[in-house]
Amino acid sequence: MLNNGIIGIILEYLIVFITIFIISYFVYVRNKKKLNKKKAPIELCYVVNMYRLDIKKINYKKFLWIYSFINTFIVSTIYIIVVYLVDGFLWQIIIGMVLLVLLIIICYGLLGRYYQKKEGIDNV
């Protein structure tokens, strides 16, 4: 933890974000070439089912980048909030879980609406 005020927090956020994104890239994005419906990410199933999207119109490689970015954003944001704003281990766990659910609903809700708009216009 960097204790240099706001600049330290922002720097730590960027370091955590970049680190998690690189790990996510090597684990999820780099090796996936085509959509395998049996091994599709749960995020894709959630967005397709929740927003009634046509899975054939979604650019799978682009989706992998977007969902990797969203997951990285969620994890990094929760980490910074819990570490710097919450005292007590039990409170950190509880608030972290609540924030996790809220950020997943918000971020993937925005992604689903984005794909709904794109699907109405042309292929995503």
Is residue 49 a contact partner of residue 116, using CB atoms and an 8 Å limit?
A: no
Instruction: Give the per-residue pLDDT at 1.
Output: 55
Task: Label residue 83 by pLDDT band (50, 70, 90).
Answer: very high
Cβ–Cβ contacts within 10 Å for residue 16, how many?
17
Mean pLDDT across the chain, nearest whole number? 87
Instruction: Give the per-residue pLDDT at 121.
Output: 56
Give how many domains the chain has, as a whole number.
1
Q: Judge whether 1 lies within some domain.
A: no
Q: Judge whether 17 lies within some domain.
A: yes
Q: Judge whether 51 lies within some domain.
A: yes
What pTM value is reported for the model?
0.85
Instruction: Give the per-residue pLDDT at 5.
Output: 84
Q: What is the mean pLDDT of residues 56-70?
A: 89
Q: What residues make up the domain containing 79?
A: 6-121
